Structure 1
Amino acid sequence: MRVVSLVPSLTEAVALTRPEVLVGATDWCSHPAGLDVARVGGSKYPDLDRVLALRPDLVLLNEEENRRADADALVAAGVPVRVTFPRTVPEALVELADLVAALGVSTEPDWLVSARRAWAALPEPGTLRRAVVPVWRRPWVVLGAGTFAGDVLHRLGVANLYADHAERYPRPELDELRGRNPDLVVLPDEPYRFTADDGPEAFPGVPCALVSGRHLTWYGPSLAEAPAVLAGQLARPL
């Protein structure tokens, strides 16, 4: 089997489960450290000629991260694709188990077992902190309805104030964000790299938690450590 992954979290999953089958990944696939496979461009605009040159038996995509046009082009070229789109932690665990099986592995890898245990061990959240969760600025873009990251935060006691919005990624003005009167602003370091000097100044008087974007949005081996990492970061707002 020869696998090309166009999804960083799935690249990590394959590399830690059956590294010998992974032949290609995007330029943004940064985990595990030292990953040595052919690079095929970005998630949004991969070089399909490079992908096809690797003669993959399977290409991994995500409905949100990758373009439908690229998926269609791969299918038209006769390449099997696997498209994921988890919106909750349980959905992610199911899709990861299905991926492991598709890779020909009969026993779940340790990272997946650990991820199941880590999320199952979380207590039911008590009083939820009301938060806005920007993922970009200039313009401001926030988490909206039905996002995987929103479900992750809810399980950690944080309620997304835009969870009932009609859009998955609304673009409210800053005055509207402030007008929601959040208890907390959650600022991940990807896709936009919010830092202590870039983001919190827009929300004077509101606690701002800088969190790991990888642990908030990736669904793969990072899920095993995400509850502990994010809980610690959310507990120490600026």
Structure 2
Amino acid sequence: MLPRIVSLVPSLTEAVAVSAPGALVGVTDWCSHPAGLDVARVGGTKNPKLDRVLALAPDLVIANEEENREPDLTALREAGVEVLVTEVRDVPQAFRELARVVEACGASSRSSWLARAEDAWSSLPAPRERRTAVVPVWRRPWMVLGRDTFAGDVLARLGVDHLYTDHGERYPRVPLDELRAAAPDLVVLPDEPYRFTADDGPEAFPGLPCALVSGRHLTWYGPSLAEAPWVLGEALRAAGR
């Protein structure tokens, strides 16, 4: 019998759903993949409705140290719920944590998508060139990737080194004038958490190539990792043409 699982992390929701169909009994309002997932919604990643989670009588709640707040996880533990907390700062760590999640959700065998994703990244050719970038994740105020981030490691493996990788904060607020003055080779604009679009983002960086990329492929650690090198690589190459 599969355990009853509540996932508080969108990318891990997708991982559990495709690895152990039927195990999920609750997910956040932001869990958009796989499409048509018909289970209870328990609020946001930062503000889950703990009463809803507990009412589902989960055997396990899956969380992430960055996505979710420790007070919520502590409250769940104190209510007697087992909580699995993941930490993902780079691609190898993502695969280790995903293997742990897949095992915890009761999958009968190693998921084929995980093997494909590992192969996609292990067989990735060395980049022909390296470029620098700033990577906004929010505006009003402007915030960018800083140190020790999964998305930063993903980009580095694709030949893009973001300029705030040594910043003291993981997601620093940086004035727009400073971002422009940093003179990156390109600006990488994901569509989440802030939804940058062709009409909302590139106009702030006149004269700089901008790559509009899928946030799911840049920041999610789950089945999307299998296609992320190709999807992101195409978007990054297009920005340099």
* TM-score normalised by L of structure 1: 0.98
Q: 2:169 aligns with which of 160, 167, 170?
A: 167
Local SS of the residue matching 1:138: coil
Q: Which amino acid is the alignment partner of residue 55 of structure 1? A: A
2:215 is the counterpart of 1:226: no
Task: Find the counterpart in structure 1 of residue 101 from structure 2.
Answer: 99
| 4+ long deviations beyond 6 Å | none
Which amino acid is the alignment partner of residue 159 of structure 1? D
How far is 1:108 from its partner?
A: 1.3
Out of 23, 28, 31, the position equivalent to 1:21 is 23
- What is the SS of the residue equivalent to 1:82? strand
User: Offset at 1:106?
Assistant: 4.8
- The CA distance in 2 between the partners of 1:35 and 1:151, in whole Å, is 30
Partner residue of 1:199?
201
Following TM superposition, by how much is the alpha carbon of 1:19 offset from its aligned partner in structure 2, in angstroms? 1.6
Aligned-partner SS, 1:154: helix
- Pick one of 121, 124, 141 that aligns with 2:123: 121
Helix, strand or coil at the partner of 2:77: helix
Question: 1:103 Cα shift?
Answer: 2.1
Cα separation, 1, equivalents of 2:190 and 2:87: 20
In the TM superposition, what are the counterparts of 1:144-159 in structure 2 within 5 Å?
144-159=146-161
Deviation, structure 1 residue 125: 2.5
Counterpart Cα distance in 2 of 1:175 and 1:81:
43
* Partner SS, residue 185 of structure 1: strand
Partner residue in 1 for 2:132: 130
Q: How big is the shift at 1:41?
A: 0.7
Describe the SS at the equivalent of 1:70. Answer: helix
Is 1:37–2:43 an aligned residue pair? no
Residues of 2 paired with 1:53 and 1:65: CA distance?
A: 22
Say which of 5, 8, 17 aligns to 1:6: 8
Question: 1:125 and 1:95 mapped to 2: Cα distance?
Answer: 26
Q: Deviations over 1:68-99 (max 9, x none)?
A: 11000000001000111110000000100111
Which residue of 1 is the match for residue 239 of structure 2?
A: 237
Query: How many Å separate the matches in 2 of 1:92 and 1:125?
Result: 21
Q: Distance in 2 between matches of 1:21 and 1:103?
A: 7
Q: Select 2:49's aligned residue among 42, 47, 50.
A: 47
Q: Percent identity?
A: 71
